[in-house]
């Protein structure tokens, strides 16, 4: 098994942004383990949308989601992680800490304009640390 660690910060302005957090280009199945995700501030009802699945044309905002793209939400000022014993504010319900991904599938993050961002002052919308473990 080969593993790669990803960590960083996504900076956001006032607009709605869509970011590809990870794409499985290994031609093998990959296990993603989220060790830590922390969302920035925003309006109370705001949340980031995480889409897992098809890379060529993800099924954005379609209900029900098809079998190649599925969805989870992370509210603003919310932290999750493998070793966080208690969730923080604005829980949006269940969020997967481990997912399996087929080749050519991605993790997309859609951040609405209500999440963080000030005019002319971009700010941290999402901090992350996860590991991608390739199946051998």
CATH of the domain at 65: 2.60.120
How many structural domains comprise the chain? 1
pLDDT, position 100 = 92
pLDDT 10s digits, 3-28 = 999 999 888 877 778 889 999 999 99
Mean pLDDT of 56-85: 67
Q: Domain residues for 107?
A: 2-134
Spatial neighbors of 36 by CB under 8 A, at least 6 apart, are 79, 80, 81, 82, 84, 127, 128, 129, 130
Exposure of 66 by Cβ count < 10 A (0-12 exposed, 13-18 middle, 19+ buried)? exposed
pLDDT, position 78 = 77
pLDDT, position 72 = 79
- Report d(CA 61, CA 86) in Å as an integer: 29
In this prediction, what percent of the chain has a pLDDT beyond 90? 23
């Amino acid at each position: 098994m080969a593993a790669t660690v990803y960590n960083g910060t996504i900076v956001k302005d006032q607009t709605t942004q869509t970011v590809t957090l990870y794409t499985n280009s290994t031609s093998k199945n990959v296990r993603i383990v989220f060790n830590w995700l922390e969302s920035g501030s925003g309006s109370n009802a705001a949340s980031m949308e995480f889409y897992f699945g098809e890379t060529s044309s993800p099924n954005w905002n379609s209900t029900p989601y098809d079998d190649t793209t599925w969805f989870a939400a992370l509210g603003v000022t919310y932290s999750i992680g493998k070793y966080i014993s208690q969730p923080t504010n604005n829980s949006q319900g269940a969020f997967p800490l481990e997912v399996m991904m087929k080749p050519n599938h991605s993790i997309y993050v859609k951040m609405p304009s209500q999440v963080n961002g000030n005019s002319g002052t971009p700010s941290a919308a999402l901090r992350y640390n996860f590991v991608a473990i390739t199946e051998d």
